[in-house]
């Protein structure tokens, strides 16, 4: 972070590693699909580079780690952080498994591809004027979530995070937050962090095992921002 913003709290968006369903493009909500070996390697690689003392995600600077309860997210947490760091964070009460970070509830669309979902919706008499868009239309069936339902649970989490950050905008206390979750959920979180409604056409990409960064401009809790690029210090 530039010197003028040094100490400003950050939120790290850590997507779980690849699964067979994420690899094939199948919508994975509540299904417990394990990481592939490539997925394990993705997280080990990003964790080695980004997580640890003096690195981008420094456990000593972390105030809270929020983890989706799905096994693929829990496994990602276990891979990205060393056992010692996980234990220290857990003993300090800084690790929270929360349904607020669970993947979007896909309902009838669980395990389907986008083209299969759109075909199913046509069978149901939907989407006569335009193609299905999850950000505007949500998902059908039991367990299927609307954009407003996802908004509500994410906004609750953002409110809690902002309370952690308030009063620590210049690095007064360790206040970085790590979110370990899923593709749709983390992109939805980004929209809400920036104050956009779910249907706002903000195209985003977040690869399996990758890390994104959110923060604030001008040390201001009222100016949440997306940290598009990050400069790394030269290793000594």
For residues 12 and 212, the answer to whether their CB atoms sit within 8 Å is: yes
Is the sign of the CA dihedral 104, 109, 115, 121 positive or negative?
A: negative
Mean pLDDT of the chain: 94
pLDDT band at 20 (very low <50, low <70, confident <90, very high): very high
How far, in Å, CA of 214 to CA of 224, rounded? 8
Q: What is the pLDDT of residues 153-207, one digit of tens each?
A: 999 999 999 999 999 999 899 999 999 999 999 999 999 999 999 999 999 999 9
Whether residue 56 is predicted with pLDDT greater than 80 in this model: the reply is yes
Whether residue 233 is predicted with pLDDT greater than 70 in this model: the reply is no
- Catalytic residue (one of 18, 75, 103, 165): 103
Percent of the chain clearing pLDDT 70 (strictly above): 96
> Which whole number is the average pLDDT over 11-40?
97
Q: Say whether 103 is catalytic.
A: yes
In the chain, what are the domain boundaries?
Answer: 3-226
Q: Which residues are annotated as a binding site for substrate?
A: 28-29, 72, 103-106
Q: Which residues are annotated as a binding site?
A: 28-29, 72, 103-106
Nearest to 103 by CA among 10, 27, 167, 202: 27
Whether residue 1 is predicted with pLDDT greater than 90 in this model: the reply is no
Q: What is the pLDDT of residues 79-122, one digit of tens each?
A: 999 999 999 999 999 999 999 999 999 999 999 999 999 999 99
Please name the CATH architecture into which domain 3-226 falls. Answer: 3-Layer(aba) Sandwich (3.40)
pLDDT of residue 4: 58
Q: Say whether 219 is catalytic.
A: no
- Catalytic residue (one of 16, 75, 182, 184): 16
pLDDT of residue 110: 98
């Amino acid at each position: 972070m530039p010197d003028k913003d040094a100490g400003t709290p950050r939120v790290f968006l850590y997507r779980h590693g690849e699964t067979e369903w994420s690899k094939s493009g199948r919508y994975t909500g509540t299904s417990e699909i394990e990481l592939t070996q490539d997925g394990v390697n993705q997280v080990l690689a990003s964790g080695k580079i980004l997580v640890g003392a003096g690195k981008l995600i420094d456990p000593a600077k972390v105030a809270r780690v929020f983890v989706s309860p799905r096994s693929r997210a829990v496994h990602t947490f276990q891979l990205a952080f060393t056992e010692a760091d996980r234990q220290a964070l857990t003993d300090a009460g800084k690790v929270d498994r929360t349904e607020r970070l669970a993947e979007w509830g896909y309902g009838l669309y669980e395990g389907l591809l986008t083209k299969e979902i759109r075909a199913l919706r046509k069978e149901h008499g939907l989407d006569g004027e335009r193609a299905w868009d999850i950000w505007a239309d949500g998902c059908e069936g039991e367990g299927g979530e609307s954009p407003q339902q996802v908004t509500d649970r994410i906004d609750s989490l953002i409110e809690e995070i902002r309370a952690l950050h308030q009063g620590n905008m210049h690095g007064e206390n360790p206040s970085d937050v790590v979110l370990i979750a899923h593709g749709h959920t983390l992109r939805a979180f980004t929209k809400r962090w920036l104050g956009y409604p779910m249907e706002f056409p903000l195209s985003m990409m977040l690869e399996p095992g990758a890390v994104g960064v959110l923060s604030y401009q001008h040390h201001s809790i009222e100016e949440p921002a997306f940290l598009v690029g990050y400069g790394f210090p030269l290793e000594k």
